[in-house]
Structure 1
Amino acid sequence: MNEALCSILSGEEDWHFDEEGRSIRFNKDGTGELECRCNLNYWILAELEWKSVKPQDTESSPTLGSSDQTTTVKNDSSQPELLGKLDLEMTLTRRLAGRARRWAELHPENEKYMNQSLTDDAYWTKSYTVRIERGNFIQPCYIGHQSSDTQRYSVRLLFDKSPYPPRPEWKNPQGGPDEGQFWDHVEFVGRAAPDSARRQRPMNGPTASSWNNCVVS
């Protein structure tokens, strides 16, 4: 079952909080990329390493298809369908994301600063639990501000804590990081939905539960 969920996780080119610059990518080979851009400034544009791990308490982590994961959403078309949960270990690296090498050649000072903005703790391996859901979603950055023509997505990825480093792991969080509150980003979407999905209300609106909640700054 983990293999099927990992295939969904790595099947999207990017999972977006904001398609304009805050995204995460998981590659099938256990590498990935974390991007954090705001107001034309890159704060993070780095490779990451990831792997799926078995939960420590298997009794409290039901497998896909169990009643705990499916019955609460199966008969309610207004709620997302839970596809399953994954426990991950992720390690942010100081390596520049492959797609950014041309950018780095043109902006060497920005690249240098980017690798100096985080403390060493940001590069430790961390554990996460993620939920993968199917439904009708907007980019989390638009929650509370969406219009009828907002792009819709059919898969959502929810972290128990943000893949972006928490505030104490930023050397100088004042300014851009504090304004963006990147460490609060726990929701990402992928797989563009058909245009017809725009006629329905998105499932990640401001009335969602605490798992789905995302504050836009």
Structure 2
Amino acid sequence: MNEALCSILSMEDRWSFDLEGRFIKFNKDGTGEKLWCRCNFNVWIAAEFEWRSVEPPRDPSRSTEVPSQVASGAPGKGPQPLGQLNLEITLTKRLPETVKHSILSKSTMVNEKSLTDEAFYPKLYTVRIEKGNFVEPCYIGYPSSDKPRFALRLLFDKSPYPPRSGWKRPEEGPDGGQFWDHVEFVGRISPELVKKGAVMNNISTGWWGGCVVS
């Protein structure tokens, strides 16, 4: 099961919070091509990372269940769970190969320029992969009939973006984006899903991940 789920995880070109620049990509060789956090022309994170599937924690007091972010509606109409993985992810300070020689290499705010050492420690996550009819999480709770649809959703128990304590100056932009609340990403864009009914994740959960960084 782990091998099959890891294959699904790494087959997608990207798992997106939005198509404008907040996404994560897993490579088959145990590296992540990139974790991107771009918002309103500001790039906060453009980093490679390392990842691996690990055994679930043994502590019975710690739940490994990823809470659902949506109400599934009528029986049989909600997202279909494909499985759950426990991952160890280590963010690095390395720029992705595709941008190492770009203007980002001179940025004063990308990766370690904005993040503390805490952000680069290995961290454990529980993730669930679901099949359904989804829109980009940034549109949850907002009209989305004309938005692209995606067949897969990736749910983290906590965000792959560093927590607020992992940012050097969160009040200078990241507080507006609240990136550490991004736990839902979608993959496998599918125009055919527009014809097949209601979006399964278009229900407000009390916070919208719109970015207001200027």
Does residue 19 of structure 2 align to residue 19 of structure 1? Answer: yes
Identity value in percent: 55
| TM-score, normalised with respect to structure 1 | 0.84
| TM-score, normalised with respect to structure 2 | 0.85
Shift, 1:57, TM fit: 3.7
Checking the alignment, whether the CA contact within 8 Å between 1:152 and 1:193 is kept in structure 2 is yes
Does residue 204 of structure 2 align to residue 216 of structure 1? Answer: no
Shift, 1:61, TM fit: 6.6
Shift, 1:101, TM fit: 2.3
2-side partners of 1:173 and 1:184: how far apart?
13
Match of 2:49 in 1: 48
Q: Which runs of 5+ in 2 are unaligned?
A: 66-71
Structure number with greater CO (CA < 8 Å, separation at least 6) is 2
Does residue 112 of structure 2 align to residue 119 of structure 1? Answer: no
Q: CA RMSD in A?
A: 2.2
Shift, 1:78, TM fit: 2.1
Provide closer, same or farther for how the CA distance between residues 151 and 198 of structure 1 changes in structure 2, counting only shifts above 3 A: farther
Deviations along 1:48-97, whole A, 9 cap, x unmatched?
000000113499879xxxxxxxxxx8x93420000000000000000001
Extract structure 1 runs of 4+ deviating beyond 3 A.
57-62
Output aligned runs, 1:1-217, within 5 Å: 1-32=1-32, 33-57=34-58, 76-103=75-102, 106-110=103-107, 112-114=108-110, 115-198=112-195, 200-206=197-203, 215-217=208-210
Aligned residue identity for 2:133: N
Provide closer, same or farther for how the CA distance between residues 152 and 187 of structure 1 changes in structure 2, counting only shifts above 3 A: same
- Between Structure 1 and Structure 2, the one with more helix by share is 1
Q: How many residues align?
A: 199
Provide closer, same or farther for how the CA distance between residues 194 and 108 of structure 1 changes in structure 2, counting only shifts above 3 A: closer
Aligned residue identity for 2:80: E
